[in-house]
Amino acid sequence: MLNDAEFALIAREVKQRSGAVLTRDMSGAAEIRLQPLSRREGFGSVGELVGAARIRPDGTLWNNITDCLAHAETRFFRDRAQFEKLRTEIIPAAIARRGHERVRVWSAACATGQEPYSLAMLVDDMRNEGANAAVEILATDMSQRLIDKARSGLYTQFEIQRGLPIRKLIAHFEKAGDLWRISDRLRASVKYEQHNLMKHPGGLGQFDIILLANVLTSFDAETAGAVLDRVADALAPGGVIMLGAGETLPDTASGYTLENGFVRRASDAARVAAA
């Protein structure tokens, strides 16, 4: 069992690298998640892994520990009402605003890719319904391991059962041994890059829609506010940020409005209200 000093050290390093906050009641779960890593690295216990991370100067073990502990849970079409609002209101409004230009969407902290692929399926449905949905999807995560899994488009039966409607399974997936693989066409419609939300996204460009659902809750209020500010810097004029159902703005955030899970800059919201 991790002692208090070992867990405190893990929590400090994970927060420094990812912004994620680990509380003391997560100690048992953290140890379970770190056991496979400790075995792969040749250690007899998680405590030995932490001891080695403390003395190794290159930080690789700490990065691997963070990779195991900082990623958020994800599933297909999480918060269905949010995706329906994307389909019926948010994306059509962005298309109208862009005219002949492509709408850019960023799935931030995408983990294993269920969120951006859900979006790709939604856009495909819109096209089949006759919409001129020219949409470019970028998905990022701080973990290269998770990005590699997302790029593969391969999911277990358990992952498939979590949120994916049967008609979309039939339309967009094929069996691959014991796994399911999403179609090559949809895989090609999502571009993946590595990006840490602790850093400014300036190199990614501007986006009409940013999916940040169920991400800010991993941080303390100050870090969540800073992440929201950095992400909002990548919004194109009139753009929106999608949070998870029931999420609220961080206490430290200012200059934004939140309505039905979608965040706008206060200045953009005022323009929309006046139109």
In the chain, domain spans: 4-70, 80-274
CATH fold of 4-70 reads Chemotaxis Receptor Methyltransferase Cher; domain 1 (1.10.155)
Q: What residues form DSSP beta bridges with 4?
A: none
pLDDT tens per residue across span 112-154: 999 999 999 999 999 999 888 899 999 999 999 999 999 999 9
CA 58, 110, 21, 4 dihedral sign is negative
Q: What residues form DSSP beta bridges with 257?
A: 264
Q: What integer is the mean pLDDT of 174-198?
A: 96
Among residues 199, 204, 243, 205, which one has the least CA distance to residue 223? 199
What is the second-level CATH architecture of the domain 80-274? 3-Layer(aba) Sandwich (3.40)
Query: Are the folds of 4-70 and 80-274 the same?
Result: no
Q: Residue 226 and residue 217: Cα distance in Å, rounded?
A: 13
Q: What are phi and psi of 71, to 5 degrees?
A: -75, 150
pLDDT tens per residue across span 209-244: 999 999 999 999 999 999 999 999 999 999 999 999
pTM exceeds 0.85? yes
8 Å CB contact between 75 and 114: yes
